[in-house]
Amino acid sequence: MDLIIGAGVTGLSYANFTQNKCLVVEGSESPGGYCKTLKRNGFVWDYSGHFFHFRYPELEAFVCKNIPEEDLAHVQKHTQILYNGKYIDFPFQKNIHQLDKQEFIDCLYDLFNTNSSDNVSTFKEMLYAKLGRSIAEKFLIPYNEKLYACDLNRLDMEAMGRFFPKATPEEIIKNFKDGDNRSYNSYFTYPKGGAIQYIDSILQNINCEILYNTFISKIDIQNKIAYSANGQEFKYDNLISTMPFPQLLDVTGLDYDKTLFTCNKVLVFNLGFDKKGFDKKNSWIYIPSKDFVFYRIGYYDNILSTDRLSLYIEIGMAENAPLPDERGLLSKVIEDLIKAGIIDDTYELVDYQTILMNPAYVHVNKLSAQAVEKYKSQLEKDNIYSIGRYGSWIYCSIEDNILEAKELAGRVSKV
C-alpha cells in the first residue's frame, strides 16, 4: 500500500495517477493545502493567489476535468510595477524605457557596463552581473528582499529557475519598439469559485480513502510504519510525503543541519470593499518600495470580473519574525493602499481575512539543494519519496508538482 502524506494538489495528484492501493492522511480538517477558498459576503478569496499556469494541455484537462466550462475564467495576465508613483509594465528589465529619462539612461548605461565574471554564485551577484547596478537596485533587489525577507546573497543564482524573467541586452532593446512582455504565465485558468474547485475536481477521480485531522509525527523507516500524533499506526509499502522536507527529516529521525533549510513566511490580507477600484485592468501588481508594507497586490475582482474591489495583499516576513498585531497591521495596510492610490478614504472595508503561509518561499542555495538530493536519495532506498514544492524544497509551479507526482506514480506503481 502507498501511504500519501498530505491532501494538497501534489498528494491528490499522486493518488489519481498511482495504480497501487493507497491511503491519504491529512493533518488539517479539509483537503487542498494552500489551495483553499473562503466565500463570504459575496467575495471569493484563496490562501493568496493560486492561478494555474498550464504549459501542457493534458494537465489542464486533468485538473479541470470535473469543473464546468462556464465556471472557468481563462485570463490573459496583465501585471505592472508601481514604481516611484507611476506604473510601468512587468518585467522591469524589459520596460526601462518607460522610466523617466534620467533613470532610463542610468539603467541602459549600467546594462552595458556590468562587471560580469565567472565567479557569480548568488542570486544578488547574478542580478548585478546580468542586468547592471541600476536595474538591480531600482527593482529586482528591493522587491525580492521584501518577498524573501532575507539577504539575497543567501540564495543561489538559479533559486527561481525558469520563473525569473531573464533578458539579454538585445532583448531589452528590442522591447523598446516591439513590446513583448510575455512570460511563462502569460495566460492562466482560474475557477470562478476559487482554487478549491481545482481540488474538488481532482478529488472526484480518487478511489482511495482520505483521513483528515491525522498528523504524522513519527516514521519507523526500518519497519515501514507511520505513526500519527493521536496514536494511529499505518503500515506502508511506499510512503509519499508532501510535508515540508525538514519536517520529514524530523519525523524519520534523520540527523541533519537545520540551518540548511530556511524560508520566509507570508502574511496575507484578503480585503473586500464596497465598490469597484480605480485599477480595472491589472491581475496583480508589484511594489518594490520599502515605503509600503506589502510587496504584491492581486485583484480578484479584475480576474473574476466582479463589481466590488477584492484584493489579496502579500507581506513577506522572516521565518522566525514575531507576528505583528493584526488590527494594527490592517490599519497600516489600508493607509498604504491609500498612499499607493489603490483606494481613497471613501472606500469602506466590507470584510477581511488574514492567512499565514509558513513556509511560503523556500530559500534555495547550493548547500540546501545538495542536502535535499542527498537525503531524498537516502530515503528512497527505504521507499520514502518526498515530492512537491515543500517536499522537494524548491521554487516551482503547481503544474510542476502534478508532473512530479505523475512521474513518481509511474515509477513506483505495482512495485
Q: What are the tens digits of pLDDT across the range 133-179?
A: 999 999 999 999 999 999 999 999 988 888 888 788 888 988 887 76
Q: What are the tens digits of pLDDT across the range 276-326?
A: 999 999 999 999 999 999 999 999 999 999 999 999 999 999 999 999 999
What is the CB neighbour count within 10 angstroms for residue 271? 26
Q: Is residue 104 pLDDT above 70, yes or no?
A: yes
Please, which residues have CB within 8 angstroms of residue 198's CB and are 6 or more apart in sequence?
9, 35, 50, 52, 63, 64, 67, 191
Is residue 86 domain-resident?
Answer: no
The pLDDT value given to residue 163: 80
Mean pLDDT of 102-108: 96
Query: Are 26 and 110 within one domain?
Result: no
Q: Which CATH number is 342's domain given?
A: 3.90.660.20
User: Which is nearest to 137 in space by CA: 174, 184, 83, 180?
Assistant: 83
Query: Are 308 and 164 within one domain?
Result: no
Is residue 184 domain-resident?
Answer: no
Q: Is residue 24 pLDDT above 60, yes or no?
A: yes
The domain boundary, picked from 124, 156, 177, lies at 177
The pLDDT value given to residue 167: 82
Is residue 183 domain-resident?
Answer: no
Query: Are 372 and 256 within one domain?
Result: yes
The domain boundary, picked from 340, 357, 374, lies at 357
Mean pLDDT of 228-245: 97
Query: Are 160 and 102 within one domain?
Result: yes
> What are the φ and ψ backbone dihedral angles of 17, each rounded to 5 degrees?
-90, -25
Kindly indicate the confidence band of residue 51, based on its pLDDT and cuts at 50, 70 and 90.
confident
| Residue carrying C-alpha cell 562587471 | 115
Mean pLDDT of 190-198: 94
Asked if 309 and 352 count as a contact pair (C-beta separation under 8 A), the reply is no
Kindly indicate the confidence band of residue 21, based on its pLDDT and cuts at 50, 70 and 90.
very high
Asked if 402 and 205 count as a contact pair (C-beta separation under 8 A), the reply is no
Whole-model pTM? 0.93
Is residue 406 domain-resident?
Answer: yes
Q: Is residue 90 pLDDT above 90, yes or no?
A: yes
Q: CB burial class (10 A; 0-12, 13-18, 19+) of residue 35? A: buried
What total number of domains does the chain contain?
3
Is residue 84 domain-resident?
Answer: no
Q: Which CATH number is 377's domain given?
A: 3.40.50.720
Whole-Å CA distances, 109 to 39, 176, 204, 239, 342: 49, 15, 56, 54, 33
Mean pLDDT of 219-229: 98
The pLDDT value given to residue 183: 53
Which range has the worst mean pLDDT, 174-188, 339-353, 371-385?
174-188
Is residue 202 domain-resident?
Answer: yes
Cα 303 versus chain centre, distance:
18
Q: What are the tens digits of pLDDT across the range 34-49?
A: 999 999 999 999 988 7
Kindly indicate the confidence band of residue 115, based on its pLDDT and cuts at 50, 70 and 90.
confident
Domain that holds residue 122: 91-177
The pLDDT value given to residue 414: 67
Is residue 20 domain-resident?
Answer: yes
Which range has the worst mean pLDDT, 57-61, 193-197, 355-359, 361-365?
57-61
- Tell which wins on pLDDT, 80 or 174: 80
Mean pLDDT of 215-222: 98
Q: Is residue 185 pLDDT above 70, yes or no?
A: no
Q: What's the mean per-residue pLDDT of the chain?
A: 94
Determine if the peptide bond prior to 359 is cis (ω within 30°): yes
Mean pLDDT of 377-405: 96
Q: Which helix or strand (DSSP H or E) is residue 187 part of?
A: strand 187-191
Mean pLDDT of 239-258: 97
Query: Are 253 and 402 within one domain?
Result: yes
C-alpha cell at 395: 521554487
C-alpha cell at 180: 513583448
Sign of CA dihedral 66, 72, 76, 79: negative
Query: Are 131 and 145 within one domain?
Result: yes
Q: Is residue 255 pLDDT above 70, yes or no?
A: yes
The pLDDT value given to residue 53: 77
Q: What are the tens digits of pLDDT across the range 7-16?
A: 999 999 999 9
Q: How far apart are CA 48 and CA 64, in angstroms?
A: 20
Q: Is residue 78 pLDDT above 80, yes or no?
A: yes
Query: Are 343 and 268 within one domain?
Result: yes
Query: Are 273 and 353 within one domain?
Result: yes
Q: Is residue 117 pLDDT above 70, yes or no?
A: no
Is residue 208 domain-resident?
Answer: yes
Kindly indicate the confidence band of residue 20, based on its pLDDT and cuts at 50, 70 and 90.
very high
